[in-house]
C-alpha cells in the first residue's frame, strides 16, 4: 500500500538531513507505529505520504503510484484516501462536534443525506454520541481528539495517519484514544502513527519502526519501544 524507496529529505540547502535513505513498506490493514526522539524524522515521513513534503531523493508510492508525481489538480482526490489526526486536534472552535465532522464531508462534496447518516455513526464509533452538539471548549482533551478521529474516518479513508495523537493527553485519555485507533484498524483501516510514548507502543503491541537521526534503525513485526 505505502512504499518508501530509498527516501532522503534534506532541508536548508541540503545542510540539514531530516530523513536519510529510508526504505520500508506498509501493507493494507497494518497498524504501524513510527517511534523516535524529537527530530528523528517521523513527521517528515507522514508529510511525504500526504504529498505535503517532497523527497530530495527516492520515491514514495501509494498503491504503485508515485505520490510526488500526482498532478496538483489531482492531489485533493488522492488525499481523500487518507485521514489525518494531529496532536493539537485542529478543530474549528465555533462549530459543534457534529459540525466539525460534517465539515470534512462537506469539503468532499458529500450530500446532506450522507452527512446526516454518516456523521452520527462516526461519532458513535469514537464513543461520543452524548457530545454530538458540544463545542470544543466544552470537551476534554481526550474528547477533542476523539472528534478529530471521527473527522478523519468519516469519509472512509484507506489510511489513517496520526501524528503524536496522544501527545497532549493524560494517561486515561491516551488509553481511550489508543483503543479507538485499534478498533478502527480492526475494522480494516490501515493506521500509521508516530509517537514517542513508550506506554502507547507497549499497549498496542503491533509493528514498530524505530528512527534515529533520520534513519530506520529497527523494524520489529510486533515490538516494544526500544531506543
Query: What is the per-residue pLDDT for 106?
Result: 94
Inform me whether the pLDDT recorded for 148 exceeds 70: yes
Is 90 inside a domain boundary? Answer: yes
Per-residue pLDDT tens digits for 94-147? 999 999 999 999 998 899 999 999 999 999 999 999 999 999 999 999 999 999
Is 134 inside a domain boundary? Answer: yes
Inform me whether the pLDDT recorded for 222 exceeds 80: no
Per-residue pLDDT tens digits for 105-114? 999 889 999 9
Is 1 inside a domain boundary? Answer: no
Which runs of consecutive H residues, i.e. helices, occur in 33-133?
A: 42-49, 75-79, 97-107, 112-125
Inform me whether the pLDDT recorded for 13 exceeds 90: no
Q: Which domain holds residue 183?
A: 30-53+76-220
Contact between 92 and 139 (Cβ < 8 Å): no
What mean pLDDT is reported for the chain? 93
* CATH number for 131: 3.40.50.300
Per-residue pLDDT tens digits for 19-48? 999 999 999 999 999 998 888 899 999 999
Percent of the chain's residues with pLDDT above 70: 96
Amino acid at each position: 500500500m505505502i512504499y518508501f524507496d530509498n527516501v532522503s529529505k534534506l532541508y536548508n540547502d541540503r545542510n540539514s538531513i531530516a530523513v536519510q535513505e529510508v526504505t520500508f513498506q506498509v501493507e493494507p490493514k497494518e497498524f504501524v507505529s513510527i517511534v523516535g526522539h524529537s527530530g528523528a524524522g517521523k513527521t517528515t515521513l507522514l508529510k511525504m505520504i500526504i504529498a505535503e513534503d517532497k523527497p530530495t531523493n527516492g520515491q514514495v508510492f501509494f498503491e504503485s503510484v508515485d505520490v510526488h508525481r500526482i498532478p496538483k489538480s489531482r492531489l485533493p482526490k488522492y488525499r481523500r484516501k487518507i485521514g489525518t489526526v494531529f496532536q493539537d486536534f485542529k478543530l474549528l472552535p465555533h462549530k459543534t462536534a457534529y459540525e466539525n465532522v460534517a465539515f470534512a464531508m462537506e469539503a468532499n462534496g458529500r450530500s446532506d443525506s450522507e452527512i446526516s447518516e454518516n456523521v452520527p455513526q462516526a461519532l458513535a464509533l469514537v464513543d461520543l454520541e452524548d457530545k454530538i452538539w458540544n463545542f470544543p471548549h466544552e470537551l476534554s482533551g481526550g474528547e477533542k481528539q476523539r472528534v478529530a478521529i471521527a473527522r478523519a474516518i468519516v469519509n472512509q479513508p484507506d489510511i489513517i495517519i496520526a501524528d503524536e495523537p496522544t501527545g497532549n493527553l493524560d494517561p486515561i485519555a491516551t488509553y481511550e484514544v489508543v483503543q479507538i485507533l485499534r478498533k478502527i484498524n480492526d475494522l480494516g483501516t490501515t493506521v500509521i502513527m508516530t509517537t514517542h510514548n513508550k506506554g502507547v507502543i507497549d499497549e498496542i503491541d503491533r509493528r514498530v519502526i524505530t528512527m534515529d537521526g533520520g534513519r530506520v534503525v529497527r523494524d520489529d513485526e510486533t515490538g516494544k519501544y526500544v531506543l
